[in-house]
Structure 1
Amino acid sequence: MTVTIGINGFGRIGRCTLSHIAASGRDDIKVVKLNATGPIESAAHLIKYDSVHGRFPNEVKIDGNTLDLGRGPIPVSSTYDPTELDWSGCDVVLECTGKFN
């Protein structure tokens, strides 16, 4: 059984979570939605060149509003209100903004 994950927030915690899941090679965990309020180009750059963890080992691709870290495209949205998004395809949504703690 594959656990599907959504990530709300793409600061340090959101980026680390996504990069570690993508680099893990595990087939039982899949990120299926990402909400990042900045430009998708910035998100891709910050994943690829992390100042603490170094370079991401795989190619990072952007295609429209999707980000692909080598395990299939992940739809990326950009809203400050996560209740506006459809999280129905996610088994778990990780709140990584710190806004709602």
Structure 2
Amino acid sequence: AYMLKYDSTHGIFNGEIKQEGNDLVINGKTVKFYTERDPAAIPWKETGADYVVESTGVFTTTDKAKAHLQGGAKKVI
């Protein structure tokens, strides 16, 4: 939460950022974070996520990125 609040590139975020358990709450909206090594283990369907942005640099082929679909994502970008 601290690094989002005080970003060295974008400056200080004027909204409210706090941590609640494993989630971030930004201006009252909960943002889920996962640290799974296997994207298929992330419960995207439970979170209601329609689109997942794959930005790890690890799952760079279509076949590898499809693992997010197994977790319930509808589309992977």
- Within the candidate set 49, 54, 57, 1:98 is matched to 57
Q: CA deviation at 1:76?
A: 2.3
Give ranges in structure 1 of 5+ residues lacking alignment.
1-43
Distance 1:83 1:56 in 2: 33
- Cα RMSD for the two superposed structures: 1.4
**TM superposition score normalised by structure 1:** 0.51
Identity between Structure 1 and Structure 2 (%): 40
State the structure with more CA Rg: 2
Higher relative contact order, structure no. (Cα contacts within 8 Å, ≥ 6 residues apart): 1
Moved >3 Å (runs of 4+): none
Q: Which residue of 2 aligns with 1:57?
A: 14
**TM superposition score normalised by structure 2:** 0.64
Give ranges in structure 2 of 5+ residues lacking alignment.
61-77
Greater strand fraction, Structure 1 or Structure 2 = 1
Q: Which residue of 2 aligns with 1:78?
A: 35
Q: How many positions carry a matched residue from both structures?
A: 58
